[in-house]
Amino acid sequence: MKLPNGWEMVVGLEVHTELKTASKMFCGCANSFGSEPNTNTCPVCLGLPGSLPVLNERAVEFAMAIGAALHSTISPSTFHRKNYFYPDMPKDFQISQYDLPINSGGYLDLPDGSRVSIERAHLEEDTGKSTHLGGSGRIHGADRSLVDYNRSGVPLVEIVSGPDIRSSDQARAYASELRGILIATGASDGRMEEGSMRIDANVSVRKANAPFGTRCEIKNLNSLRSLGRAIDHEALRQVEVIEDGGVIRQETRHWDENLGETSTMRTKEEAEDYRYFREPDLVDLAPDQAWQDRVRASLPPMPAERRRTLADRLTDPTEAQLDAVEVVIDLGLEPWVHSALDRGADITLALARAANELAAGIDGLVNLTLDAFTQTLLMEQRGELSATQAKTVLGELLASGGDPAAIAAAKGFEQLSSDSLGATVAKLIEQHPDEWARFRDGDEKLAQFFIGLVMKSTKGQANGKAVIAELHARR
Amino acid sequence: MKSAQQIASEVRSGVTTAIGELTTSLRAIRERNDELHVFLYVDEEGAIEAAARIDERVGRGDDVGPLAGVPIALKDNLCQTGIPTTCSSRILEGWRPPYSATVIDRLMAAGAVPVGKTNLDEFAMGSSTENSAFGPTRNPLDPSRVPGGSSGGSAAAVAADMTPIALGSDTGGSIRQPAALCGLVGMKPTYGLVSRYGLIAFASSLDQIGPFAKNVTDAALLLEAIAGHDPMDSTSLPEPSPSLVAHVNDGVAGQRIALVRELVEGADDDVVASVYRAVETLRDAGATIVELSIPELHLGLSAYYLIAPAEASSNLARYDGVRYGLRVDADDVAAMNEATRTAGFGDEVKRRIIVGTYALSAGYYDAYYGQALKVRTQMIAAFKRAYQQADLLIGATTPSVAFTFGSKTKDPMAMYLNDVFTIPTNLAGEAAVSVPFGTGEAELPIGVQLLGPGRSEARLFAAARVLEIAEGRS
C-alpha cells in the first residue's frame, strides 16, 4: 500500500521469540506448549517467596546464536528487573536485560536487497497466560480471570529493529526473513499461531526526508497478515489525523483483527514507570570468547545463503521457479530438493513437487526419506508414473512412509507397456484420420487431442510423455 | 543447657538420645513461650519424627552428622516444607511452602532437629521485633526489654535455653544486633557463603543467613553445616564449606587488629569501655593493635536505607493476593491488589516500600538509588584499604544494651541508628561476628563486633573465642 499525498511510513519492529530450550529460563521446569494448565511449574517460576533464579545456559547459547546470525556484537551483559503489577507475572516484576543487552547492533538483509538495522537482541523471561471469562473478555470488566503459569519463565529473546522499514510489505518480509533465521539457528520454532513469535510494531508517518513523526506502538501482532494490515491501517490513521489538523499522541495501541483497526490501550501519560534496577539475584553474564566462538562455529547456513545455493542450480530461473525456491527455503525443504538434484532429478520438477506436495503435507515430513522423494521423482521422469500418480505416491509417503515402487505397485500404478500403448495409439489414429492428418502437417496442438483420447481409453494409466513419443514415432 | 557440640557428641555416642534432648527443648519452650513470645509455630510432631529417625540411625550405627540430635530454632523467614512460614506478616498468614530452604535441607542432613519458627520484625524490617504483626518477643534476660531484631525470636530462643542454636538472617545487623542484646555469639557470614535459596527476601544483595549460639564453637559448628556452594543460588560462592570448628582455638597471635573510630562513635560509655577492654585482651593474646578511621562508614546508614528499601519494594511486589497468602476481595484486580496489600502489610513495611519505590522512580533514580550504589562502591573500597592495614577490625555491635519496649518506636530514625555499626558489613558483602564481652546498664550484656574481609570467618571466630575465654566462658 502507498500512503497518499507524499506521506511515508516509518516502522520499527520488536519481535519476541520463545526459545526452544528443554527447560525454562531460570528453573528446571519443562518448556513446552499445550500441557495441562499449571503443570509445568515450580517455586521458581511461580515466584514463591524465597525462590531464586538460576540462568539456563542453553538460553544464553540460543541468544548468542541469534546475535551471531544478525551480525550483532555479543557483549558482557546484565539482568534488570522491570517492575509492574500484573496477575500473570508471578513476581510482579519481569527479569529482562536493560542497558547492557547480550547482543547489540547488527543488521538483517531482506530478499529484495534492502537492509534493516538491528538495535539489540536481548534475553528476558515470558509471563504466564491469562484467560478472562465473561463480561468484556479483557482484564478490566471480566467476570473471572484464570492464569496458567506454564509459560511463566519461558526464555525469550526480544529483537528490536531500527526504524528502517518503509512499507508493510517490507515489514512482512523482515518478519518472515527473521523467522527463517530463528528457525535456522534452532532457537525458535517460529510458530506465530502458538505465540512463540510475537510482534510489536512502532509506526509513525512523515513527509519524505522530514524528521520522524511521533510513533505509536501496536502490541501483539500474531500473524504476518495482522502485521501488514495493522501497519497499513495505523499509518493511514495517522495521516488522516494529521491532515485533519490533529496531532499524534505517543501511545500504545491494540490491534483488533476482526474490526481491522487499532485503538488506544494507554497513552504516554498512563505509561508505567518500570523502576528498572539490576537484578540482585543474578550475576553478570559474560560469555567468554571460546564460548562465543563455539556458538558461531556451530551456526548452520542462514536462509539467504541457502536461497542463493539453491537458486545457483537454476540456469536462467523463471519467476515461478524463484517463488518455489522461496517456499522450499522457508519450509526448510531443501535437503530433499538437493538430494534429488544430486541424483539426476529435473530441477523444475523437484522444486514444484517440494513447493506444492511437500509443503502441503509438511507435518508428514518425518515420514519421507530423502531417497523416497528422489525415487518418486525419477519414476515420474522415466514415465513410470504419471504426474497425478506421482502426487498420490508422495501423499502416501508423507502420510505413512514406505517405498515408492511398492506403493505404486500396490495402487496398481503399473504404466501401460509400450506395446499395448502402441496398439492403443494406432487404433485411435485409425479412428480419427482427419486429426491425424493435421498433426502430421505440423499442428502440434493435436498432440493434446490424442493424449486425451489415450487417457480416456486407458483410464489414466498412460503417461503423457510416452504418448507424445508414440505419436512422433508414427508421424 | 548443654552446648550443641556436647549434645551432638552424646547423641552420636549413644550417651543420650535425640528424643531426650528434644524433650528438654520442648519443655523449655512450653515453660516460657507464652511469656516471651519466641516461637510463632512449634512443629512438635515433625521434630519428634526427626529426632526418632536420628536415634534409629544411631542405633544402626550410621554416621548421623555433626549436629546429631541438636534442636534448632529457625527464623520464620526460612521456608520449610509444609510448615507455616509468615515473615511475621499478615500477608503470608496461612501459607505453607511446598519446599524447604537449602539451609534446612543441610541442617537435616547434618542431623539437626528443627523445632519451630521464631518471631521477627515483619519481613525482617526492624531492630526490636516490635514490628511483628503477631506481637513482639521479649528479651529473656529482662522481659521489659526488646531482644533486638529483626531475628529477635531466634536470639531469644537460644538466650532462653529453648534451643542451643538458631538460624537468623542479617540484612543490616539482624543477627549481630539481637545477639549483642541477648548475650550471644552471632555471625553475619560473607555474602554468598550461605545459600539464600528458601530465605524469603528482604533486600537480596544484602541478606545473608547466619548462626546464633551461646558460644563460638557452636556458632562455627552450625555455620560449617549450612555453608558452601549451592547451585540453586546464583550468588552463592563457588567454594565448598570452609573448615571453621578446627580453627576456633587458633588465637590471634600475629594478627593485626584495627580499632575503628567510627565503630564506637556515639556508643554509650559502657559499650565503649567494653570495646577498649576487648582490644586490650586481644593485645594481651598477641595481636598487634592499630587505630583506624574509615570516614566512609558514616555514609552507610543513608545508602542502606535507599538500597534495602529499593530492593524490598520489588521483592515484596509478589504479595498481591493472586496466588497465596492473604486476599482481600475487591471489584477488580488492581483494587484487590491494593486492598490486600493495605490490609496485609504493617506500617514499617509500607514505609520502606514507599521509600524504595520512590528511590527507583524515573527522575529520582540517579539522585537516590544511583547515588547509594556509588556510596556502596566507596564503602567496599574503603574496607579494602582498611584490610591492607589490618587483618580484622573491631568496634561495637550496637550503641547501647537492650532497650525497653516502645522507647524507639515513635521515631524510625532512632530505631535505624541502632544498626549504624552493623550496616557497613552488609553493604560490603563481608563478614562480622558479635561476641558478648562485659555488661552495661542493668547488668545487661554488651556485644563487641569483629569485622573481617570476605571469607575471614575462621579468623573472626578465633578472635571471638579469645574474648570468650577471657570472659571465663569455655
Ordered DSSP codes for A54-97: ---HHHHHHHHHHHHHTTPEE--B--EEEE---TTSTTSEEEE-
What's the pLDDT at B96? 98
Which residue in chain A has the smallest CA separation from B237?
A283
Sign for the pseudo-dihedral over CA of B471, B404, B414, B33:
positive
- Cell numbers given for A370: 530423502
- Provide the 10 A C-beta neighbour count for residue A80: 22
Residues A35, A230: Cα–Cα separation, whole Å: 31
Least CB-CB distance to B357: which of A49, A275, A282? A275
Q: Which residues contact A279 (CB under 8 A, 6 or more apart)?
A: A53, A78, A79, A80, A81, A95
Q: What is the pLDDT of residue A416?
A: 58
- C-beta atoms of B79 and A50 within 8 A: yes
DSSP string, B146-159: ---SSSHHHHHHHH
User: Where in chain B are the domains?
Assistant: 4-240
Residue from B161, B45, B179, B178 nearest B113 by CA: B45
Q: Is the torsion defined by CA of B257, B258, B260, B264 positive or negative? A: positive
Above 70 in pLDDT, residue B286? yes
Q: How big is the CA angle at B66 (ends B63 and B70), to the nearest 5 degrees?
A: 105
Catalytic residue among B3, B127, B132, B150: B150
User: Is the pLDDT confidence value at B30 over 80?
Assistant: yes
* Spans of chain A, pLDDT less than 70: 136-137, 414-419
- Minimal Cα–Cα distance from B318 to chain A, Å? 5
Q: Tell me phi and psi for residue A7, to 5 degrees.
A: -80, 150
pLDDT, tens only, B315-365: 999 999 999 999 999 988 999 999 999 999 999 999 999 999 999 999 999
State the helix-helix crossing angle for A168-185 and A303-311, rounded to 10 degrees: 90
Q: What CATH number has the domain spanning B4-240? A: 3.90.1300.10
Beta pairing partners, A355? none
A385 alpha carbon, distance to own chain's centre: 33
CB A383 within 8 A of CB A465: yes
For B44-62, the pLDDT digits (tens) are 999 999 999 999 999 999 9
Q: How many CB atoms sit inside 10 A of residue A301's CB?
A: 12
Look-up: residue for cell 527447560?
A23
The conformation of residue A190, written as its DSSP 8-state character, comes to: -
Instruction: Indicate the pairing of strand A93-96 with strand A261-267.
Output: unpaired
User: B245 Cβ partners below 8 Å, 6+ apart?
Assistant: B66, B217, B220, B221, B224
Catalytic residue of the set B154, B174, B313, B400? B174
Cβ of B200 within 8 Å of Cβ of A91? The answer is no
3-state secondary structure (DSSP) of residue B31: helix
Check if the beta carbon of residue B75 is closer than 8 Å to that of residue B118: yes
Q: What is the DSSP string of A310-352?
A: HHTT-SS--HHHHHHHHHHHHTT-HHHHHHHHHTT--HHHHHH
Q: How far is CA A473 from CA A240, A417, A469, B181, B258, in A?
A: 69, 16, 6, 113, 111
* pLDDT at A419 (0 to 100): 63
Q: What is the pLDDT of residue B461?
A: 98
Q: Does B142 contact A at CB distance below 8 Å? A: no
Of A49, A52, A81, nearest to B233 by CB-CB distance is A52
| DSSP calls for B88-126 | T-GGGTT---SS--HHHHHHHHTT-EEEEEE--SGGG--
pLDDT digits (tens, 9 = 90+) for B243-271: 999 999 999 999 999 999 999 999 999 99
d(CA B353, CA B309): 6
The predicted pLDDT at position A415 comes to 61
Closest CA in chain B for residue A146: B322
Give this complex's ipTM.
0.96
Per-residue pLDDT of B363-400, as tens digits, reads 999 999 999 999 999 999 999 999 999 999 999 999 99
B75 is catalytic: yes
Q: What percent of chain B has pLDDT over 90?
A: 96
Question: In angstroms, what separates the C-alpha of A291 from chain B's closest C-alpha?
Answer: 20
Q: Cα–Cα distance between A34 and A42 in angstroms, integer? A: 17
Can you say how many angstroms the Cα of residue A314 is from the centroid of all Cα atoms in its chain? 24
Q: Are strands B165-169 and B209-213 parallel, antiparallel or unpaired?
A: antiparallel
Peptide bond into B150 cis (omega under 30): yes
Q: Cα(A108)–Cα(A115) distance, rounded to whole angstroms?
A: 6
